[in-house]
Chains A and B, each alone.
Chain A
Amino acid sequence: SQKIEQNSEALNIQEGKTATLTCNYTNYSPAYLQWYRQDPGRGPVFLLLIRENEKEKRKERLKVTFDTTLKQSLFHITASQPADSATYLCAPYNQGGKLIFGQGTELSVKP
């Protein structure tokens, strides 16, 4: 069955450092992959979409990579700030026409 794995443990980093979050998927080949941010008590908010023919996508301090051979996406936040503290969800798009969300990785940025 299709499976998505994100860092299960919370990631704690110091302000100003780069945060790197991992998303691994198995048993399918998504044409697109999205990343969302979720704050406590709120709905997920879209951050970035990357296509299978794109190796890397950037938006301000955010960078996403998509390695279809390794079946992995990495999500980077450079110059992290306490306001970046949230849960980040990876969502590959499967051939059935649906986004399948990972469990998410909780990021905590300390001042």
Chain B
Amino acid sequence: DAGVIQSPRHEVTEMGQEVTLRCKPISGHDYLFWYRQTMMRGLELLIYFNNNVPIDDSGMPEDRFSAKMPNASFSTLKIQPSEPRDSAVYFCASSFSGSYNEQFFGPGTRLTVL
């Protein structure tokens, strides 16, 4: 298996623009997680899905952030409009049969909002 796949790997955009990050989890995994990592706040959980259904989105910073999982092999995290404080590395992770089980992380998307 290729592991968790994220795209793009790097994104530079201007304030106010819409940003869409993409994730393909490991086949057969039923949990998908979106994290954000910054030097100041570390690795924070934004939202997670179980069987394509959002379970906990309490970590989503505000209404500018939205996430979808239309099927078991694809998820998106959208920021609209983007702001400079959204600059961070965004990771997608997946796990099998339990949110407490080991999580497999993707390589991340480094987002810079100018």
Residues of A near any B CB (own CB < 8 A): 31-32, 34, 42-46, 49, 89, 93, 96-104
Contact = CB atoms under 8 A, between A and B. Distances in A.
Given A96-B56, A101-B43, A32 B100 contact: yes
A49 B99 contact: no
Interface of B: 4, 35, 42-45, 48, 55-56, 91, 93, 99-108
A31 B91 CA distance: 24
A31 B42 contact: no
Contact of A49 (B4, B56, B102): B102
13 contacts: A32-B100, A42-B107, A43-B91, A43-B106, A43-B108, A45-B105, A46-B104, A93-B99, A93-B100, A97-B56, A97-B99, A99-B103, A102-B42
Given A42-B108, A97-B56, 7 more contacts: A43-B108, A44-B43, A97-B48, A98-B45, A98-B56, A100-B45, A104-B43
Most B Cβ at <10 Å: residue of A42, A96, A98 = A98
A2 to B, nearest CB: 12
Contacts of B99: 93, 97-99
Contacts of B35: 101
A42 B89 CA distance: 10
B43 to A, nearest CB: 4
Contacts of B103: 44, 46, 99
B3 to A, nearest CB: 9
